[in-house]
Amino acid sequence: MAAPRSLGRLVTAALLALLAACAREPPRPPPPVSGCFDALRAAGLRVERWEAPGTGACRVDEPVRLARSGLALDPPLETSCSLARAWLRFEPEVRAIARRELGAEPRGIVHMGSHACRRMTGNAGRASLHARALALDLAGFELADGTRVTVLEHWHDRGPRGRFLRAVAKAACRHFPMVLTPRSDRFHRDHLHLDLGPFARCDA
């Protein structure tokens, strides 16, 4: 008869421990799910939220973290849902341009981030679109063989890698109101800056 009683004590102790844990960490309600977030999920993406400022000049509406679009993102891209969705509309064109110019699709995206709580590069008076994670700094792409095509090294290249990058910038202008490139200024010699406006400029 001793065994069932000690089992009972064990179960009681386990329940008490569980209750204590629950008391320490009340379950948080899940964040509200937006149409944009749902759309990314429905597209089959493994997407999650990240802790972004919810108020102030650097707040991010609908923060999402993407570890993979159709291409690998390493490190994962922490951005806004709007930017992620714009990129996902654009990406099939990037892959098509890569097939045409390089003979194969890239494996991954080399990026310099989306969210940065700062003023605009070269214009300290205005908040950068990066402050709201409505911009992406694209440094280049990783190819299947592990080599990279980068804006810094290949933008001026007369061969396929240069043609690929310049065509990507040109195509980006159909998806992003603002596309800055090494043609823009010295701040953009190593990346393409793509953002969602409100200002429009295509430096492809």
Number of residues that bind Zn ion (CB under 5 A): 3
Query: Which residue from 144, 139, 137, 150 is spatially nearest to 194, judged by alpha carbons?
Result: 137
Q: Is 115 in the site for Zn ion (CB under 5 A)?
A: no
For Zn ion, the closer CB: 136 or 143? 136
Q: Determine whether 159 is exposed, middle or buried from the number of CB atoms within 10 Å of its CB (0-12, 13-18, 19+).
A: exposed
Shortest Cβ distance from residue 137 to Zn ion (Å)?
4
Distance between CA 165 and CA 101 in Å, rounded? 9
Q: Are 85 and 39 in contact (CB under 8 A)?
A: yes
For Zn ion, the closer CB: 161 or 193? 193
Query: Which residue from 106, 44, 46 is spatially nearest to 71, judged by alpha carbons?
Result: 106
User: In this chain, which residue has its C-beta nearest to Zn ion?
Assistant: 193
Q: Is 193 in the site for Zn ion (CB under 5 A)?
A: yes
What does R_g of the chain's alpha carbons equal in angstroms? 23
Beta strands in 58-159 (DSSP E): 63-68, 72-80, 108-111, 119-120, 123-127, 135-142, 148-150
Q: Determine whether 165 is exposed, middle or buried from the number of CB atoms within 10 Å of its CB (0-12, 13-18, 19+).
A: buried
Shortest Cβ distance from residue 201 to Zn ion (Å)?
12
Q: Is 194 in the site for Zn ion (CB under 5 A)?
A: no
For Zn ion, the closer CB: 115 or 193? 193
- Choose the stretch contacting Zn ion; rule: CB under 5 A; options: 18-26, 61-69, 153-161, 191-199: 191-199
Shortest Cβ distance from residue 42 to Zn ion (Å)?
29
For Zn ion, the closer CB: 97 or 135? 135
For Zn ion, the closer CB: 137 or 142? 137
In the range 121-180, which residues lie near Zn ion by CB under 5 A? 135, 137
Binding site for Zn ion (CB under 5 A): 135, 137, 193
